[in-house]
């Protein structure tokens, strides 16, 4: 084991690991060195020059994010030479950067702007040398704007290393260098799976979510429309953070109150259909186990993951559960079952989702996600429910808009709502009740655990004594467990990030997979680290969000999906049984190879 070494940082002698970087060593000494291109565990290419420090005896300044300490090294983190170099590097980056800070989507969270403030950059010293084309708006979920790119490389690193998608990379040389897709065809014509991790790590607005909040505001203001909203499990543990609260602050009731004040007709919970998903997915798993179906069965809740398997592993599509995600199940149920209960013409209803995910935007637009429209056509009820002079589309999606956590936070700020001052309010019925099993859908391992709670009790015919499946919890990249259920041993695995998903898929391809059931989430930590969440979610923030969801699971009176009374009523009044013809018509789908 290598022993620590002694170095001096700003006159303070400290003991550090020789394998650490100078950036980490200086942080241990209390010296906060600014960075731009660096992002722990993702990117450290030393391209920006912001993190330079002065090392006694060295002719040049040293980029601290890639340099290791040596015994006796003496470092100065804020000498006049260092501060001058950092300021010059930043001024060069700003020379070609647009000055639309007041209207930029990242205003308030832009790292470049914050750094300019901290380094006291007040004027332009260098001429603009670059021209840029229009933004890339081809993707349903993301927008790329070259004019705001500072070539830090974070997006390229997360796409290639964390997700192994390689949809974007550097092209050109020197002043012509830029981040783009293959042949510059746009994100929609690339392998991009719309996971949005690039938008989370981008320090500016060079890659950001495609904002649809104004379209939602317009719909809310239309007196002829009923606009209902659903909120994903992870939102309640991250929205507060996006509005300035400590990471992991659980604001379920205040979130409901804020959504009502924004003007939504009804505030429902995606957790209702997370419980519904478990009823359908659990039934499907049991049928596959008992009737020699395709195994391992893999969960299908994460649209980035679905895009990934459709793009890179189409021969394995048969392993996917046919269940739609809770978002899409909700849209189909809202525009059929709820429309009947509330006597609302479905073509006059708009369903808005609040999601931690940019890929949800594309999922909502998939052509097969029109189950409610097809159902009403088959039932021949459209004509009687439709207003005679209605000017609305006859073909409609189950979910009309999927907004990210960041978009909702901007809407709340725009409306002048002080969410911290709001009283807690409850979700509306009949699509608002949920269990603890649905809450943990928002974190890696949660879907697996929720499914096991229900599958165990169905197959064993008795209550589960311990509801906490600890082996599938935590933020390890791949987790596995063995569960005794129904007289058999069920081998299960959980993976988050597409890099880890690829490992499990390769095992299936080569015939080495020992599992019957696999959960995959495309983003780090699952939905708590989704591409639509507050930017730069470090490990501690993910831990805080994760802990909040498990805390909510514990406090709810029901913790198993099959104990959701409103889901039981949905089956008895409308769907029949899990896996019924109506359930398959509305709640299941098919997937296919995705060309690009």
Bond from prior residue into 213 cis (ω within 30 degrees of 0): no
Q: Is 321 a catalytic residue?
A: yes
**What's the confidence (pLDDT) of residue 385?**
52
Q: Is the model's pLDDT at 42 over the cut of 90?
A: no
The one catalytic residue in 209, 527, 542, 552 is: 527
Residue 301 bears catalytic tag: yes
Active-site annotation holds for 101: no
Q: Which of 47, 190, 321, 513 is catalytic?
A: 321
Residue 47 annotated in active site: no
For the cut 50, the answer to whether the pLDDT of residue 389 exceeds it is no
Which entry of 280, 284, 407, 449 is annotated as an active-site residue? Answer: 284
In the residue annotation, 527 being an active-site residue is answered as yes
The domains found in the chain, sorted by start residue, are 5-94 (3.10.20.740), 133-209 (3.30.70.20), 214-587 (3.40.50.1780)
Query: What's the mean pLDDT when you consider all of the chain?
Result: 94
Q: Give the separation between CA 267 and CA 227, rounded to whole angstroms.
A: 9
pLDDT digits (tens, 9 = 90+) for 514-533: 999 999 999 999 999 999 99
Quick check: 557 pLDDT over 60? Answer: yes
**Cα distances (angstroms) measured from residue 315 to each of 82, 495, 593:** 55, 20, 8
Task: Write down the catalytic residue from 54, 140, 241, 363.
Answer: 363
pLDDT confidence of residue 125: 79
Distance CA 370, CA 385 (A): 18
- Rounded distance, CA 347 to CA 329, Å? 17
- Residue-level pLDDT at 529: 96
- Whether 238 is a known active-site residue: answer no
The structure tokens listed for 409 are 């936070």
CB 122 within 8 A of CB 135: no
User: Hey, which bits of 457-515 come out as E strands?
Assistant: 478-485, 488-496
pLDDT tens for each residue of 254-305: 999 999 999 999 999 999 999 999 999 999 999 999 999 999 999 999 999 9
Active-site annotation holds for 226? no
Residue 368 known to be catalytic:
yes
């Amino acid at each position: 084991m290598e022993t620590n070494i002694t170095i001096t940082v700003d006159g303070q002698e400290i003991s550090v690991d020789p394998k650490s970087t100078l950036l980490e060593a200086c942080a241990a000494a209390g010296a906060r060195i600014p960075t731009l291109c660096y992002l722990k565990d993702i990117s450290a290419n030393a391209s920006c020059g912001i993190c330079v420090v002065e090392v006694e005896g060295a002719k040049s300044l040293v980029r601290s994010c890639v340099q290791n300490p040596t015994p006796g090294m003496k470092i100065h983190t804020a000498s006049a030479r260092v501060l001058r170099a950092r300021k010059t590097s930043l001024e060069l980056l700003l020379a070609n950067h647009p000055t639309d800070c007041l209207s930029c989507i990242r205003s308030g969270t832009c790292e470049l702007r914050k750094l300019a403030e901290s380094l006291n950059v007040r004027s332009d010293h260098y001429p603009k040398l670059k021209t840029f084309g229009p933004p890339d708006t081809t993707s349903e979920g993301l927008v790329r704007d070259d004019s705001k790119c500072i070539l830090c490389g974070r997006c390229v690193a997360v796409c290639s290393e964390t997700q192994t998608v390689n949809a974007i990379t550097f092209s050109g040389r020197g002043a012509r260098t830029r981040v783009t897709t293959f042949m510059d065809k746009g994100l929609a014509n690339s392998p991009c799976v719309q996971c949005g991790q690039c938008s989370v790590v981008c320090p500016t607005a060079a890659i950001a979510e495609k904002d649809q909040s104004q379209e939602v505001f317009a719909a809310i203001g239309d007196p002829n429309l009923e606009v209902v909203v659903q909120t994903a499990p992870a939102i309640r543990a991250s929205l507060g953070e996006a509005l300035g609260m400590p990471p992991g602050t659980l604001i379920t009731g205040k979130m409901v109150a804020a959504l009502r004040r924004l003007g939504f007709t009804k505030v429902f919970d995606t957790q209702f259909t997370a419980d519904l998903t478990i009823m359908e997915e659990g039934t499907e798993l049991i049928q596959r186990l008992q009737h020699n179906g395709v195994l391992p069965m893999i969960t299908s809740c994460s649209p980035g993951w679905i895009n990934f398997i459709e793009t890179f592993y189409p021969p394995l599509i048969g392993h996917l559960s046919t269940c739609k995600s809770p978002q899409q199940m909700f849209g189909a149920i809202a525009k059929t079952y709820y429309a009947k209960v509330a006597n609302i013409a479905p073509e006059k209803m708009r369903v808005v989702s609040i999601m931690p995910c940019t890929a949800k935007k594309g999922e909502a637009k998939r052509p097969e996600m029109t189950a409610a429209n097809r159902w009403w056509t088959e039932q021949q009820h459209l004509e009687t429910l439709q207003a005679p002079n209605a000017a609305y589309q006859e073909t409609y999606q189950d979910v009309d808009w999927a907004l990210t956590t960041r978009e909702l936070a901007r809407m709340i700020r725009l409306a002048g709502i002080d969410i911290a001052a709001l009283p807690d309010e409850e979700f509306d019925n009949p699509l608002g009740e949920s269990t603890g099993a649905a809450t943990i859908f928002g974190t890696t391992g949660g879907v697996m655990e929720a499914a096991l709670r229900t599958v165990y009790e169905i197959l064993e015919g008795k209550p589960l004594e311990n509801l906490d499946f600890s082996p599938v919890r935590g933020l390890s990249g791949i987790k596995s467990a063995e569960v005794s259920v129904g007289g058999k041993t069920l081998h299960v695995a959980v993976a988050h990030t597409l890099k880890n998903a690829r490992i499990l898929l390769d095992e299936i391809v080569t015939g080495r997979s020992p599992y019957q059931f696999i959960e995959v989430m495309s983003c780090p930590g699952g939905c708590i680290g989704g591409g639509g969440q507050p930017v730069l979610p470090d490990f501690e923030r993910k831990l805080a969000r994760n802990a909040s969801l498990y805390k909510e699971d514990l406090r709810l009176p029901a913790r198993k999906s099959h104990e959701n009374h409103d889901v039981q009523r949905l089956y008895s009044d409308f769907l029949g049984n899990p896996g019924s013809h109506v359930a398959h018509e509305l709640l299941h789908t098919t997937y296919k190879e995705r060309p690009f």
